[in-house]
Amino acid sequence: MKFSLSWLREHLDFTASLDEICARLNKIGLEVESVENPAQKLAGFRTAKIKEAHPHPDADRLQLCRVAAGAGYEDLQVVCGAPNARAGLHVIFAPPGTYVPGLDITIKKGKIRGEESGGMLCSLKELGLGEETGGIAELSPTAPIGEPYAVYADLDDPVIEISITPNRGDALSIRGIARDLAASGIGHLKPFLTEAVEGKFEPSITWKKDEEGCYFVVGRIVRGVKNGPSPEWLQKRLKAVGVKPISALVDVTNYLTYDLGRPLHVFDVAKLSGNVLTVTQAARETFTALDDHEYVLGTDDLVIVDDAGVQSLAGIIGGKSSGVDENTTDVFIEAALFDPVKIALTGRRLGVHTDARQRYERGIDPALVRNGLEAATGMIQELCGGEASEVTEVGALPQWERTATLRFERLETLGGVKIQPDEAIRSLEHLGFEVVEQNDESVTLSVPSWRNDVASGKFLSQGVTLDEVIARKAAAHVERMEAENDLIEEILRLYGLDNVEPVALPQLSLVPPSAVTPKQARSTLLRRVCAERGLMETVGFSFVAYDDAVLFGEVPESQRLLNPIATDLNQLRPTPLVNLAKALSRNLARGLGFSGEAALFELGPCFDGEGQHLRLAGLRGGLTAREPGKSAQDASIWEAKADLFAALNALGVPEASLQVTTDHLPMFYHPGRAGNVTQGPKLVLGSFGELHPRVVRTLGLSGTVVAFELYLDKVPLPKAKRKTSIVLSTLQPVRRDFAFLVKNDVEAQAVIKAVRAGDRNLIQDVRLFDIFEGKTLPEGYRSLGIEVTLQPQTESLTDARLEAVSQAIEAAVLKATGAVLRR
């Protein structure tokens, strides 16, 4: 919101300086964003008079002007190329050292074609104040010589821009800003007086409305007007706030929009069809607005129509077909009260930003509808002449009257300051509140019409008061509390928030709580683990093609999309491996995987008949990088298993509690080259293995592709336990190798588990390092090489102790699997 200091004086009688006003605006919550003073940009320019003008001896288009510009510049020569430079002309002079904003140069003293030039004679365009006129600016013959041009042209008028919060629609008017400043102690607010204009005839246009989005609308005709440029004072004020003057009729509506916060619109009566203007909803039609843009209106957009169609987008912008111009003689003035939500939604959908929309959607003064019409009528008659009709209206002003109650003790308990009741009430009265009832503990005040943000509520139908509605609501106490908080905010705003002593919030804990949940933390941990293992993260759609989804499991009809965003995204994915396999296929087709293994992973949702689940999935394909003495290798199933176990280990799942089984493997794995990882007999935590050759071929892949999945929803969160210090043994660990002869149907995992049971206190690690099958072994048997790490804690291991442990391991394996040591 912009306003000039001179415009502010129309509503506020003050002697405060510009700095004091800006400081006070910041104090009361109307934050100053910028202050611009045109006089500062024009420092150095002064009025002058050309005493003589002669042709330049060496240039046909240049003249040598003898100029008088006041003290210090009584008689100097200036070379000028303007065709209108002549003796006796009063002009704008820029002495050396003056910055010319229109040319972005600084004037220097010098020679032009051999003649001295001691400055520059300027046009308004060169000062950044006007358009090109083909010569230097010609001032009035009575213009004083040597006066600063900004003072002479009355340009020493600072323009202040403030930021407005969405709840302060009343501050989108210069009168509203003046009211706040006066309440804070800056000057005195001048009375707002609007005389009613007597209607001389019945209007030929009447109102009709069939839409609840319009509460109340009034209008009148002014006939016999003469439209043309508005007076200089009006144009200057509009330009100061960034509004381009158009014509007197239009400028009046723009002026009152800023001056009172009262949007208005004028129609050219001769361009309207019929004698009724109707406020209604649009019917999916096109509308050409005053900004020359064509808008396609929806059925929720509020419009004003005549017999020919839409003439205005209500509360936002008028139509081009009924706009006023220099030939307009009769106008119809509209002032209304529209639903702010409806205006906001229409403006956002169509992308239309206007001053009227900005004020309507923040809430305008409902009591200013008729007064705004009277003010516009008076200004139009003053500037354009004409005769006014009676007022036509439809609807009724909503019941905006409401009250708010303040308990004095809340000023300290909520506001944090001790303010005397009389002082608090006086502050609110300066803002327009009026005392309805008062006692020693509280005060009830009526809220002024322009403060829609205090004790706010949707406008109610005629005859139903806000108090009656609040009494019916279950949340009446909450609404009264909000109204009281609004009053406290207003008192503190005028008191000065910088005067409120800061108080630290109570410290709930010496250690701040974690910013992420355990589930979020482990998702981040898993991503880091996969990245450390050389897998690159991808993010895929939850929607995939049905033909791809069926390769990776069941695709129930309930997970089919009836209205997909694309024909190849019509199925919710059963596993992230669908996206990973497609991504791997695209990457391998472009060469990734020939100079190094391609490895991808994703942590994301998947879907089945039971709902949505969270899974970590990874995929490896292509060939490993070639090295001296070593040929490139296909991806290995053991890499996929290691990826899965690394993820489980990071989640705190003990490896000793895990088993690998081949029961109920997912259908997309290669039979005999995959496994499920379980904890206990029933809890399946994940799977790994080679993709089925059929899946590999269908997806256009080649070679061996291995994958893993971690069913993250099934991995229980670790129980919170007290951390203990790590005890490191000072004794040397001992490693012993065992070769067990076992039947081919005995799983290596069973042997490893049995080894661990040999001595749980001493055995630190068990690892399978060899599998041997050959003719030297009995038929149906194989040899498993097991490395066992023994870590003593209190004393070194003796030969006798090592022998006892070895025998215990042999006995445990024999009992669990029937395996014996290979001799």
Q: Are strands 611-621 and 706-711 parallel, antiparallel or unpaired?
A: antiparallel
Question: Distance between CA 72 and CA 79 in Å, rounded?
Answer: 18
> Residues comprising the binding site for Mg(2+)?
453, 486, 489-490
Question: Distance between CA 219 and CA 611 in Å, rounded?
Answer: 60
332, β-bridge pairs = 221, 267
**What is the Rg, in whole angstroms, of the alpha carbon atoms belonging to the chain?**
43
* Structure-block tokens of residue 472: 């019916």
Containing H/E element for 214? strand 214-223
> Residues comprising the binding site?
453, 486, 489-490
Nearest of 541, 507, 399, 388 to residue 462 by alpha carbon? 399
Phi (first) and psi of residue 713, to 5 degrees:
-65, -25
Q: Are strands 598-608 and 536-537 parallel, antiparallel or unpaired?
A: parallel
| Structure letter (DSSP) for residue 572 | E
Question: Distance between CA 20 and CA 15 in Å, rounded?
Answer: 10
Write out 260-273 in H/E/C secondary structure: CCCCCEEEEHHHCC
Burial 638-665 (b: 16+ CB within 10 A, else e): ebbbebbbbbbeebebeeeebbbeeeeb
DSSP codes, 175-200? HHHHHHHHHTTSSEEPP---PPPPP-
789 C-beta neighbours (distance < 10 Å), count:
14
Question: Distance between CA 248 and CA 227 in Å, rounded?
Answer: 6
580 C-beta neighbours (distance < 10 Å), count:
24
Nearest of 238, 93, 224 to residue 159 by alpha carbon? 238
Q: Which residue has the tokens 């930021």?
A: 163
Q: Are strands 159-162 and 32-36 parallel, antiparallel or unpaired?
A: antiparallel
Beta-sheet strands, E only, within 597-668: 598-608, 611-621, 658-661
* Pair 174, 10: CB distance under 8 Å: yes
Nearest of 751, 812, 756, 760 to residue 785 by alpha carbon? 751
Burial 279-311 (b: 16+ CB within 10 A, else e): bbbbeeeebebbeeeebebeeebbbbbbeeebb
Question: Distance between CA 595 and CA 593 in Å, rounded?
Answer: 6
Q: Which residue has the tokens 């589930």?
A: 519
Question: Distance between CA 384 and CA 400 in Å, rounded?
Answer: 35
597 residue type, one letter: E
64 residue type, one letter: L
367 C-beta neighbours (distance < 10 Å), count:
15
606 C-beta neighbours (distance < 10 Å), count:
24
* Pair 644, 659: CB distance under 8 Å: no
CA atoms within 13 A on the CB side of 89: 19
| 108 CB burial (10 A radius; 0-12, 13-18, 19+) | exposed
* Pair 758, 740: CB distance under 8 Å: no
* Structure-block tokens of residue 792: 């003593």
Question: Distance between CA 165 and CA 187 in Å, rounded?
Answer: 24
Is the backbone of residue 622 left (phi > 0), alpha (psi -120 to 50) or beta?
left
